[in-house]
Amino acid sequence: MHTAAGGPGFLAQPALERSERLTMTAAQERKPIGLLGGVFDPVHLGHINMALRCMETLDLQEVRFIPANLPPHKPEPIATQRHRLAMLECAVRQRPQLTVNEMELERGGVSYTIDTLIDLRDKDALQPLCFIMGMDAFESLPTWRRWQDLVDYAHLILIDRKRHDRRRDERMRDYYDAHACSLPATLHANPCGYIYKTAISIPEISSSRIRGLLTNDETAGELLPAGVHHYIKENNLYV
C-alpha cells in the first residue's frame, strides 16, 4: 500500500457542517477502522504515535497496519516479508487497539492502495474506513493508481504535522474541496467519501534514518518500540 490547519486554500477546513449532518445516519454510526499502509522497514515510533493519535482524535475502533508486499513508488524493502511482519507484531503486541493485516503480503505482487480498499469494502459495505496518510503522500496522489477513486471506498485522513498551506497542484485543491469535511462525526456516519485533515504532533522519524543509524552501528533504540529494537538486534538486521 502507498504510504495518515488554518488559512485559505485547499488545506483549510471548510464549513460543511450543515450538509454533513444530512448524511449522519448512512452508516448507522459505526466507529471507523483506521488503515495505515507502508513498507514498515522497520516500523518505528512515528508510525505507532500516528496511529494512537488518530485513534484518540477520531475515536476509531482500531488502526490496522497493512504492510506492502512490493511498494509501487519505493525501492524493494531491505528486510524480508517475514521480518517486517514480525517487527510489526512486536510493535503492536502490548497495544490491543492496533492490529496487523497481512492482506497485501498474501496478495503478492505490487501493492496498490485501490486494490486493498476495494477488497476491504467488498467484505463490509457499511463499515467506515479511514485511510491515514501524510500531506506529502496526499500531494503525490496523482501518481497513484486510480487515485481519484480512493474516496469511493474509504475516507482519507490527512496528517498535517507542519500546519502548512501549500497549493502545488490545482487538481489536489479541487479534489480536497470536493470531499472535505470538518466534523469527525461525519467519518462515523458514512462508510467513505470524505477527506478530513487533522494537525497532530508526532515525532519526525523515518525508516531510512533508522536503517542508516543501524548500518553505522549507532543507536536507534529511542526511535523504535522496545520489542522492535530487540528483534532487529537479535536478527542482525540492517547491518
**pLDDT tens digits along 155-196:** 999 998 765 555 568 899 999 999 999 999 999 999 999 999
**pLDDT band (50, 70, 90) for residue 26:** very low
Q: What does the pLDDT look like over 83-114, one tens digit per residue?
A: 999 999 999 999 999 999 999 999 999 999 99
The three cell numbers locating residue 91? 510493535
Q: What is the pLDDT of residue 167?
A: 54
Average pLDDT over residues 31-42: 98
CB-based contacts of 154: which residues, under 8 Å, 6+ apart? Answer: 35, 117, 120, 121, 129, 130, 131, 192
User: Is the backbone of residue 190 left (phi > 0), alpha (psi -120 to 50) or beta?
Assistant: beta
Tell me phi and psi for residue 39, to 5 degrees: -85, -35
Average pLDDT over residues 216-238: 94
Q: What is the pLDDT of residue 99?
A: 98
| Three-state SS at 25 | coil
Between 13 and 59, where is the model more confident?
59
- CA dist 52 and 95 (Å) reads 9
Which letter does DSSP use for residue 236 in this model?
Answer: T
- Taking Cα atoms as reference points, which of 6, 81, 96 lies closest to residue 39? 81
Between 19 and 147, where is the model more confident?
147
- CA dist 16 and 1 (Å) reads 30
Q: What is the pLDDT of residue 18?
A: 37
Instruction: Reply yes or no on whether the pLDDT at 9 is more than 50.
Output: no
- CA dist 148 and 131 (Å) reads 14
Helical pair 226-234 and 81-92, crossing angle rounded to 10 deg: 150
Average pLDDT over residues 208-228: 93
Q: What is the pLDDT of residue 98?
A: 98
From 61-65, 80-84, 107-111, 199-203, the region with the lowest mean pLDDT: 199-203
Instruction: Reply yes or no on whether the pLDDT at 5 is more than 60.
Output: no
Q: What is the pLDDT of residue 53?
A: 95
Q: Which domains does the chain have, with CATH numbers?
A: 17-231 (3.40.50.620)
- CA dist 13 and 131 (Å) reads 18
- CA dist 42 and 38 (Å) reads 10
Instruction: Reply yes or no on whether the pLDDT at 143 is more than 60.
Output: yes
Mean residue pLDDT across the chain: 88
Give the burial class of 23: count Cβ atoms within 10 A of its Cβ; 0-12 exposed, 13-18 middle, 19 or more buried.
middle
